[in-house]
Structure 1
Amino acid sequence: MRNHTRAARAHFIFAGCYALSGGALLVAGALLGVETGWHLPACVGALAAPHAVMGWGAAKAKNWARVLTLVLAFPALLAVPLGTLVAIQLISYCWLAWDGRDALPAAARMPATAR
């Protein structure tokens, strides 16, 4: 499986988890008779939408999705322990270019002994 497909799958999983937790908040509030309001589910939905968009971009191997994933993954390194593990995985998927070209063209021109 290619790295952009793995990154897309991870983003879709995040979007699904956020959407399910937002729905669970609404259902739990209705079942318990507690007025949950729309603020918390809206915030959770605001987290799901960018992941869904980045998942779509990663599935299409768009460079902007790779860059955004890297931008979001580096701060997630501080969320020890689970966030760190997920961030390391996402960085490993996105570090090199997704289009099959070498991300560092200068290094590709170097002789093998110099690398």
Structure 2
Amino acid sequence: MKKRSGGDELGSADWDWNLALRSAVQCGLMPEQFWDLTPAELNIIIEIHVEQKKDSQKSGIIAAFYSAYFTRLKTLSSPDLEKVLDGIDNVTGQDMTDEEMLNAVKKFAKDRG
């Protein structure tokens, strides 16, 4: 970790170095890379990693939902798939809250029977 000009390590009294190193490794960093970061830089990397993991989990849940949905259809028509793909292509870029996502899934399921 980078040091202050006085020589003492930044936040050494209240910083859990073992946890910080473990978190860095979980984010895909090598120990050498970890030691070149400031705690603020490491926190940003961890926050990004957590968001990426959440996005990956959401993608898996959405894939499972659509898999179950398409399995329940008596016949899969091209328009059904086109609507799903069109929805992916026309994403507004706004994040939904968990409640908004749940309501959207419920509405979608209700509309499809």
Q: TM-score range by the shorter chain?
A: 0.3 to 0.5
TM-score (structure 1 length as normaliser): 0.34
TM-score (structure 2 length as normaliser): 0.35
Q: Considering Cα pairs closer than 8 Å and 6+ residues apart, tell me whether 1 or 2 has the greater RCO.
A: 1
Larger Rg: 2
